[in-house]
Amino acid sequence: MKTFEIDKAFEIVSGQPRRNDTSVFAVVRDEMYFLPAFLDHYRGLGYDQFVFLDDFSEDGTFEYLLDQRDCVVLRSSYRYGEPIKTDHFKKGKLNRAGIYLKYLIQTMLFEEQYITHVDADEFLILPNRFKVISDLVDYLKTNDIKSIHASSIEFFPEHISAINSDLAPQTFAEILNHCPFFDNTKLLELRSSANHRDVAKITGQSASSRLFERESIKDLRLPWADIPQFLLKRLPLKTAQSHVIKTPIAFRDKDSKMAGSHYANVPASAKVSVAMAHFVFTSNLPAKIANSLAWKSHARGATKYVSYSKLLKAMEIGNGSFLGPQSERFVDVRQLEETGLIVKPN
């Protein structure tokens, strides 16, 4: 295990970070499937700076980002999943280097400004009142709001046959056309609290959780991951789950920091929220599963991708439909506001 050295934690390979409140930060590794549509979408929302930490990509991601004028590209000598210890973050605990790097980069590059922190397969959806991100940031500043939650809404195709397509989406419209359905059910109940983890009460389940439940896909914590599915169904293990909450927009200062991959330590507002269109079930999922299991850089050794692998196999020999009782085709933001997936401000 390497000794983590802050002054050597990362370097700026391309571009120069500018101070503004319309920046996106993301960690990427082999994300060429999503990046053209990702940049198309966030540019359309008015974001004008993209800061990427590239985790040793080998599919052209790194070279592609170097050619984008509005992208700042960072690299680290530490791989995302590399175990480290540091007294500067979760003192005394063993962490993946990537978790600390996300905290460190945001602290060093984005202090005293709002930052939007997302993954490459996550596409932010604003309340209908805000046409571009600067409109939302102005509202947050006016109301002294330091962070806001997002309902993480998984989008999916109608049938598993769509997973086998050779789609290479270039725009948000193309990826949405590929995965146009979502479960229109409220996921979060927001409430005022001084504790960042008590602001949102989870009230619904993700599409992944619904499908895991339908196909009896268990929560595969090691050493259960390699046990055959027919035996797993007989074991008293919990059904696999996926997250429905994230804090993608937060103001970074000396008192504000990440409290995990999905939270900021500053309590999010109960007055407004956004949505995150999370594209899990695309034609890229088989490659994502294979890469994640090889890299093992995700939490718990990427066992959630074992669950996704088992889910796809179960659906291929059984009910190949992704649709559930509350699934519907996405038309516009008003669907999300009417259900409460987005809290629109007064």
Each residue's pLDDT tens digit in the chain (346 positions)? 566 677 778 999 999 999 999 999 999 999 999 999 999 999 999 999 999 999 999 999 999 999 999 999 999 988 888 887 776 555 556 677 888 888 889 888 998 999 999 999 999 999 999 999 999 999 999 999 999 999 999 999 999 999 988 888 999 999 999 999 999 999 999 887 656 566 788 999 999 999 999 998 887 654 555 556 555 555 556 778 788 999 999 998 877 666 555 566 777 888 999 999 999 999 999 999 999 888 876 655 578 888 999 999 999 999 899 999 999 999 999 999 999 999 999 8
CA distance 266 to 260: 12
CA distance 99 to 110: 16
CA distance 56 to 28: 9
CB 313 within 8 A of CB 216: no
CB 215 within 8 A of CB 314: yes
pTM, two decimals, is 0.90
DSSP one-letter code for 3: P
